[in-house]
Structure 1
Amino acid sequence: MSSEQIIEQAANWLTRLHDEDVTEAERQAFNTWCQADPRHAVAIERMRGLWCSLDTLPAQPTRVALNRAFSAQRPRSAQVLGLLGVLLCGWWGLEHLPVWMADQRTGVGERRQIALEDGSQLQLNSNSAVDVQFDGHQRVLQLLQGELWVDVAKDAQRPFVVRTDQGTATALGTRYLVKRAADGSTVVTVIESTVAVKGQAQDAVKVTAGQRAVLKDGHAMPAQNTGNADPDAWTRGLLKVNDQPLSEVLQTLASYRHGVVRFDSQALGDLRVSGVFKLDDTAAALAALADNLPIQVEYFTDLLVVVKPR
């Protein structure tokens, strides 16, 4: 069952449970539904959390939205859709439902290390989401958003695969990273051993330690050397760059901050950066850039930072 279907069922149950004429039999049926699939309970828990979060919104718009969603003149199907609209569509849009329902997620600026059931070690970068699908035949991580690092435990009977909408990266006993880039591509970087990277078009490349390959438009691009880069430095809370365009460094720092870091790549010209920055202190990183480059960093609020030439 898809995440969207589970969300709709959860909204249906939550709507019914808020009715004054809900029966004990319906409550028992709801409990049975929650126990039938772990994702059901997660959906209800998160939807209730969103329901409570409505109290933080301006009173008048919230009241209007709820009145429209639960109008007595509306049929139950319309009430369910109204609830979905209030809780979901107005905030993220349906395209974000799989991320909202992900098995593991991190918030902006958060990193998390997770021990998987097979003994593999997983780390999620800032604002990332992944579904974990293990069975008797294979081990699959569906990367929905952001970036992951994985140290794969050996299991000759079950391949270990990371999927995105661009293709797959299958471990051949290894440590590697998979990132969904802003341009829609997927970047696979190998730290140890070898990874088989295959695009949706079924073209494939083998990527060895110290190399990366890009999946774009469903195709696997040839592997390239990473040189002196330290691509998994973020797992240690660091951003290490060597002669990297300033705009790329700012994009990375922005991914660790709530709000917006605004800059004009063309105005910043050919400025390049080398150095080591702490990802948990982006303000210090921005200050260091301003001290060493002909730029100025202006804070209009905690949520809006503008970087421009000096």
Structure 2
Amino acid sequence: MSSEQIIQQAANWLTRLHDEDVTDAERQAFNRWCQADPRHAVAIERMRSLWGSFEPLPARPARVALNRAFAPRRARGAQVVGLLGMLLCGWLGVERAPVWMADQRTAVGERRQIVLEDGSQLQLNSNSAVDVKFDGHQRVLELLQGELWVDVAKDAQRPFVVRTDQGSATALGTRYLVKRAADGTTVVTVIESSVAVKGAAEEGVKVMAGQRAILDHGHATPAQATPGSDPDAWTRGLLKVNDQPLSDVLQTLASYRHGLLRFDPQALGDLRVSGVFKLDDTTAALAALADNLPIQVQTFTDLLVVVTPR
């Protein structure tokens, strides 16, 4: 059963349980549904958590609709059934259901280190999500969003593969990065040993330490030298750049911030940046950029910052 179907069923159950005429038999059926698949209980808990997160928000169409859906004996038609599921699958276009139901996720600005069952070390960057699928034949990570770093434990009988919708990256050694970029491509960067990078419809390429390859439209580019000297600095909470476009630096900082960091790459022209910034303090990083470059950083609210040429 797909994540979307599970979310829809969870929404149906919550809609029913919030009605004043719910029966004991229905409550028992709900408990059986929760116990039938671990993903069912996860969906219910995350949906309840999201419902609670609406409480401090001002009245908006989405919240008004939910309040009506949960009001006892109100709006019992087909338009109510599954309202939460539709909201979660497409709320403001921010998250997709598979990401929301992922085995491991990080919030915006969060990084997390995880020890997998085989002893491999996994780190997730800000706003990332991954499904873990290990069996007796292979070890697969499905990167649904964001970026991961992995230090692979040796197991000659079970290949270690990171997959995205663009292709796969199979470990031939130990440490590498896989990132789903904003432009839809997948970037594979090798830190140690080598990785076999393969698109959906080709033999693929071998990428050595200090190199990267990009998967785009199911094809892998030839391996090339990694720009910068420390591509996994984010695992230590740092952004290290050497003569990088300012727009790229701002895009990275934006991925660590709640709300919007607005800028026009064309207006910023050819401004380039070298330096080391703390990812856990993006406000200080923006201030340092403003001190050293001809730009202006305007903070309108905690959720809206605009960078313009000065």
TM-score normalised by L of structure 1: 0.92
Deviation, structure 1 residue 27: 2.2
SS in 1 for 2:20: coil
Q: CA deviation at 1:74?
A: 4.1
8 Å CA contact 1:127–1:145 kept in 2: the answer is yes
* Alpha-carbon displacement from aligned partner over 1:165-224 (angstroms, at most 9, x marks no partner): 100001112100000001000000000111111101233001111100000011111010
Q: 1:259 to 1:160 in 2, by over 3 A?
A: same
Q: Tell me if the contact between 2:4 and 2:89 (Cα under 8 Å) persists in the aligned partners.
A: no
In structure 2, relative to structure 1, the CA distance for the partners of 1:200 and 1:123 (3 Å cut) is: same
Q: Which amino acid aligns with 1:13?
A: W
The answer on whether the counterparts of 1:69 and 1:80 sit within 8 Å (CA) in structure 2 is no
| Secondary structure of residue in 2 paired with 1:22 | coil
Residue aligning to 1:41: 41
Query: Relative to 1, partners in 2 of residues 1:60 and 1:178: Cα closer, same or farther, differing over 3 Å?
Result: closer
Instruction: Indicate if the aligned counterparts of 2:119 and 2:153 stay in contact, CA closer than 8 A.
Output: yes
| 1:135 CA displacement | 1.3
Q: 1:200 to 1:118 in 2, by over 3 A?
A: same
Structure 1, unaligned runs of 5 or more: none
Alignment-mate amino acid for residue 80 of structure 2? Q
Partner SS state of residue 80, structure 1: coil
- Per the alignment, residue 208 of structure 2 pairs with 208
Q: Please name the residue that 1:53 is paired with.
A: 53
Q: Is the 8 A contact 1:128 1:147 kept in 2?
A: yes
Amino acid at match of 2:253: L
Report how far residue 11 of structure 1 moved.
1.3
Tell me if the contact between 1:69 and 1:78 (Cα under 8 Å) persists in the aligned partners: no
**Inter-partner Cα distance in structure 1 for 2:243 and 2:59:** 50
Per the alignment, residue 307 of structure 1 pairs with 307
The answer to which of 169-178 and 87-96 deviates more is 87-96
Aligned counterparts of 1:54 and 1:35: Cα–Cα separation in 2:
27
1:120-135 maps to which residues of 2 (within 5 A)?
A: 120-135=120-135
State the Cα deviation string for residues 91-133 of structure 1 (Å, max 9, x = none).
Answer: 2449611111111111111111011111001000011111111
Tell me the equivalent position of 1:22.
22
Given residue 251 of structure 1, which amino acid in structure 2 is its aligned partner?
Q
**Deviation string for 1:283-303 (max 9, x for gaps)?**
111111112212222212222
**Compared CA separation, residues 205 and 95, structure 1 to 2 (3 A):** same
Q: Distance in 2 between matches of 1:60 and 1:121?
A: 42
CA 1:213–1:95 in 2, change beyond 3 Å: closer, same or farther? same
Contact 1:203 1:220 in 2 (8 A): no
| Deviation for aligned residue 1:149 | 0.2
Mapped partners of 1:56, 1:195: distance in 2: 46
Amino-acid identity (%) = 80
Counterpart in 1 of 2:150? 150
Per-residue CA deviations over 1:61-98 (Å, capped at 9, x if unaligned) read 544543367765644x543233434x425624496111
In structure 1, the residue corresponding to 2:96 is in which secondary structure?
helix
Number of aligned residues = 308
Does the 8 Å CA contact 1:203/1:219 hold for their aligned counterparts? no
Superposed counterparts of 1:56-205, under 5 Å: 56-59=56-59, 61=61, 62-67=63-68, 74-75=76-77, 77-85=78-86, 87-88=87-88, 91-93=91-93, 96-205=96-205
CA contact (8 A) 2:89 2:97 kept: no
Aligned to 2:225: 225
What amino acid does structure 1 have at the position aligned with 2:116? L
Deviations 1:213-262 (A, max 9, x none): 00001111101011542100000011111111111111111111111222
- Aligned pair in 2 of structure 1 residues 130, 60: CA closer, same or farther (>3 Å)? closer
Equivalent AA in structure 2 for residue 169 of structure 1: A
Give, in whole Å, the separation in 1 of the partners of 2:66 and 2:18.
16
SS across alignment from 2:287? helix
Does structure 1 conserve the Cα–Cα contact (< 8 Å) formed by 2:89 and 2:95? Answer: no
